[in-house]
Amino acid sequence: MITIFDQRQLLHAPVRELHNGGWTAYAETPDRAETILAAIGPALPARDMGVAPIAAVHDAGYLRFLEAAHRDWLAAGRDGDAIGYAWPVVGRRDVDLTRIDARLGRYSYDASTPIAEHSWMSAYWSAQTALTALDEVARGSDGVGFALCRPCGHHAGADYLGGYCFLNNAAIAAAEARGRGLGPVAILDIDYHHGNGTQDIFAADPDMLFVSIHADPATDYPFYWGHADEHGSGAGAGTTLNLPLPRGTDWAAYEPALDQALAAVKAFDTRFLIVSFGADTFVDDPISHFRLQRSDFVRLGQRVAALALPSVIVMEGGYATADLGDNVAAFLDGFEGGRRA
């Protein structure tokens, strides 16, 4: 398995997030990536494949906003991390406002994702990490690539940030794989949280399958996406599959949903797989409520690898930092074993 990582992904370091009515320390820390790297060994650096594959997924105005947001925040006389406080939820007009607070609202959907000085730099290289892993697999250097992405991506939509995510690394890699003629492409999202950004990006797209196993949004973030009755829209109806599970889910309860997800990937005639992998399904994750054990991550990797598809595994969440490296290594070891089985 080829592994990609870029040191510039460590620069993004917001201080705090709004959580349960107060400020708490930002959970998506740079040492998450460092602990994974320490557990899995050396990685190739990302190559710069430019902004075009990012712009193929994200709105041009959003990218201009994101690149400039922290500078605009400082120019408005603020310090620290940029964060919005007014979200134009219903029927927002497409007006091109200049005030940073208006732009933060326009291009985000929550208060858990501050923009720090280097956020654009880290998000850009996180996307390049996914693209480089895709490029390596496409060139045939290995059948599987692990993109050690950070910040994560699956909550970011075409024109919005949120949930610690800025650029949707998995969607960018999926679109690039399709563009290179490697499809049909399926995205299997096995982070604890529903990948609302990925779902939105491909909801109306008939030849991109999005399948997600996640905590029931009736009880868990992101609440307004990921319910079982969301199947895709327009021409994409039927190419979205949501498998929400209750808090407390252990391997015995998780595996039937996994069976269903894998069956959907097979039924789609998938030729290329993107896995949005979050280790926040772990029993001791501090912000999540499933009960997978480290040994379950081995099984999970084996089961996904048994699809025997060329794959890019894109890192998403996982916040039990002391266990994170070993959990990711367990998943990747299982994946390697499952390919050979």
Chain position whose Cβ is nearest to Zn ion: 317
Ranges within 253-282 binding ligand OKP (CB under 6 A): 278, 280
The reply on whether position 129 binds ligand OKP by CB under 6 A is no
Which listed range, 134-142, 197-205, 241-249, 314-322, lies at the site for Zn ion (CB under 5 A)?
A: 314-322
Catalytic, 58? Answer no
Candidate segments 39-47, 128-136, 187-195, 235-243, binder of Zn ion by CB under 5 A? 187-195
Single out the segment in contact with Zn ion by CB under 5 A; choices: 106-114, 119-127, 270-278, 304-312: 270-278
In the complex with Zn ion, the residue whose CB is nearer, 305 or 315, is: 315
**Residue 19 contacts which entry, ligand OKP, Zn ion, none (Cβ below 5-8 A, type-dependent):** ligand OKP
Q: Round to whole Å and give the CA distance between 153 and 161.
A: 9
- Can you tell me which of 317, 325, 334, 338 binds ligand OKP, judged by CB under 6 A? 317
CA-CA distance, 331 to 261, in Å (whole number)? 17
Q: How far is the CB of 75 from ligand OKP (least distance, A)?
A: 28
Q: Do residues 207 and 173 touch, judged by C-beta distance below 8 A?
A: no
Pairing label, strands 16-19, 22-25: antiparallel
CA distance 124 to 151: 9
CB of 281 to ligand OKP, least distance (A): 10
- Asked if the peptide bond before residue 151 counts as cis, ω within 30 degrees of 0, the response is yes
Q: Where are the alpha helices (DSSP H) in 164-220?
A: 169-179, 196-202
Query: For residues 201 and 309, which CB has a smaller minimum distance to Zn ion in the complex?
Result: 201
**CB-hemisphere CA count at 13 Å for 22?**
2
How far is the C-alpha of 214 from the C-alpha of 236, rounded, in Å? 21
Q: What is the DSSP letter of 69?
A: H
**At which residue do the structure tokens 């003629």 appear?**
181
**Interface pick for Zn ion out of 105, 197, 226, 278 (rule CB under 5 A):** 278
Query: Which of 155, 193, 194, 214 does the annotation list as catalytic?
Result: 155
Is the Cβ of residue 157 or residue 183 nearer to ligand OKP in the bound state? 157
Q: 251 with 293: CB under 8 angstroms?
A: yes
70 binds ligand OKP (CB under 6 A): no
Query: Which residue of 110, 135, 159, 280 would you call a contact of Zn ion, by CB under 5 A?
Result: 280
Stretch that binds Zn ion, among 26-34, 58-66, 70-78, 189-197 (CB under 5 A): 189-197
Instruction: Please say whether the beta carbons of 50 and 70 come within 8 A.
Output: no
What is the distance between the alpha carbons of residues 244 and 253, in angstroms, rounded to a whole number? Answer: 11
At residue 99's C-alpha, the angle toward residues 97 and 100, to 5°, is 115
Applying the rule CB under 5 A, the residues between 285 and 304 that interact with Zn ion are none
Residue 221 binds ligand OKP, judged by CB under 6 A: yes
Q: Which residue, chain included where needed, has tokens 């500078």?
A: 71
Contact of residue 112 among Zn ion, ligand OKP, none (CB under 5-8 Å per partner type): ligand OKP
Q: How many residues can be counted in the chain? A: 341
Q: Report helix, strand or coil for 74.
A: helix
Nearer to ligand OKP, 103 or 155 (CB): 155
163 is a site residue for ligand OKP (CB under 6 A): yes
- Terminal-to-terminal C-alpha distance of the chain: 15
Residue (135 or 280) nearer to Zn ion, CB: 280
| Residues tagged active-site | 155
- List contacts with Zn ion (CB under 5 A): 191-193, 278, 280, 317
- List contacts with ligand OKP (CB under 6 A): 19, 112, 152, 155, 163-164, 191, 193, 221, 278, 280, 287, 316-317
